[in-house]
Amino acid sequence: MQNDAHLRQPIAEQGVYPKPVGSRGVAMVDAEDIAGVVVAELRRRDAAEEPLPREVLEIPGPEALTGGVIAAAWTELPGRMPGWMTHDMRRMSGRFQEDGMTAAFRPAPLAGRGPGRGGAGCRAWVLQEREGVVSCRAGPCAGWRRRRCSAPRALGVAGGACGSAGPPRPMGEVAMPRRWRGAAREMEPDMKFYYSPGACSLGIHVILEEIGKPYEGVVVSLKEQAQMKPEFLAVNPKHKVPTLQREDGSVVTEWPAIALWLAGSNPETALWPAELEAQVRVLELVDYVCGTVHPQAFSRIFGPARFAPSEADHPKVLETGKANAEKYFATLEKGWKGGDWALPSGYSVADAALFFVEYWWVKRLGHQLPPKLAAHLERMLARPAVKRALEAEGLAA
């Protein structure tokens, strides 16, 4: 269920979950029950002599979550809802409103047993094709085709991404007609976004959240040198974040290129302006941030050893980086031509680029920005997409 920041006060102070759940509640269903019903129904339809009509099956669980129970659960972990879950909730709620739920029959006649207890350690589904058989199990496993994971998959971290030791009880392999396997593949996330928390990839994270399409976040910890591990080098030999793997498996690298592709392939978001002059100004600002402000100021501040082998010279490198940052921010302040946003054409990927260096300067280093940039940072921090990106990376707003 939703766990947005605006729900925190009624949950924490009144113990109320302010959504239309009610005293009757909603039933949780074990993934194994769903799989058993799906397999049995697919077999029935596959064996039919002619196409069967469409049916809506209700698969109830043995117990329900009421508003009070949900409030108690979310009190323990306020504000932790991952971005992909908001997408799932939006899709699920939309289908409930369009189709409703039609009771048909319970899973026992199909699956050969009564319903299990929903959510008892089953956090994710994966599908694996092996020797002509598709098996469905709970819990993530490296190399298996993933349907949906409950948390971003971290490179170099052993075990399942969701921390589950495995399914509550193993589920055996089940035969599935080959013609249904294409549908299983369609369950994969559309994109994979490789990022390091708090790095420049934060700006791309904001753009992804602004767009609102599903993606899988993959943590590449720069502190742990995960960008140099074979798993990531196979994706991006440049060993850099951000990196975006598109739906077709192709990979886009470099901040400006990723931003352009995301905005250009989602024109309805208006993150990339239509007019040529406005496009030039967006690219001009993005290139200044990524090609000058970041490497000439913040790379010195965060990695002085790359500029001076001798540790005795590091303070001078840091001093130069800080002086450069102040000079570059003064240039941006003086040349500010936008209103609320960086450019007169309106909110764009340029604002996401400017945001990550503003965030570094204020939130990570504790310095002050010139007035117009400071106001821009505050407006960015108030955007829901920015809040979601910061929360997903475990960063303070």
Task: Encode pLDDT of 19-51 as tens digits.
Answer: 666 666 676 677 788 888 888 888 888 888 888
Q: Residue 276 in 3-state DSSP?
A: helix
Specify the residue for token string 């791309």.
204
Weakest-pLDDT range from 126-140, 190-204, 335-349? 126-140
Q: What is the pLDDT of residue 148?
A: 34
Q: What is the pLDDT of residue 92?
A: 65
Of residues 186 and 64, the one with the higher pLDDT is 64
Residue 386 host element (H or E): helix 384-392
Q: Is the pLDDT of residue 108 over 50?
A: no
Q: Is the pLDDT of residue 320 over 50?
A: yes
Q: Is the pLDDT of residue 330 over 80?
A: yes
Of residues 294 and 177, the one with the higher pLDDT is 294
Note whether 32 and 122 are within 8 A (CB): yes
Q: What is the pLDDT of residue 166?
A: 38
Q: What is the pLDDT of residue 352?
A: 98
Q: How many CB atoms lie within 10 A of CB 22?
A: 11
Q: Is the pLDDT of residue 103 over 80?
A: no
Q: Is the pLDDT of residue 187 over 50?
A: no
Among 202, 204, 203, which Cα is nearest to 191's?
A: 204
pLDDT digits (tens, 9 = 90+) for 217-237: 999 999 999 999 999 999 999
State the Cα–Cα distance between residues 149 and 354, nearest whole angstrom. 31
State the Cα–Cα distance between residues 204 and 386, nearest whole angstrom. 10
* Single-letter amino acid code for the residue at 170: P
Q: Is the pLDDT of residue 324 over 70?
A: yes
State the Cα–Cα distance between residues 304 and 326, nearest whole angstrom. 17
Q: How many CB atoms lie within 10 A of CB 102?
A: 9
Residue 319 host element (H or E): helix 314-334
Q: Is the pLDDT of residue 239 over 50?
A: yes
Q: What percent of the chain has pLDDT over 90?
A: 52
Q: What is the pLDDT of residue 55?
A: 84
Q: pTM for this one?
A: 0.57
Q: Average pLDDT of the chain?
A: 76
Paired tokens of 269: 């978001």
Tell me what the mean pLDDT of segment 275-301 comes to.
Answer: 98
* Contacts with 310 (C-beta within 8 Å, 6 or more apart), sequence order: none
Of residues 98 and 275, the one with the higher pLDDT is 275
Residue 394 φ/ψ, nearest 5 degrees = 70, 35
Weakest-pLDDT range from 122-136, 256-270, 327-341? 122-136
Residue 97 — very low, low, confident or very high, per pLDDT cuts 50/70/90?
low
Specify the residue for token string 């599908």.
127
State the Cα–Cα distance between residues 251 and 192, nearest whole angstrom. 9
Note whether 337 and 368 are within 8 A (CB): no
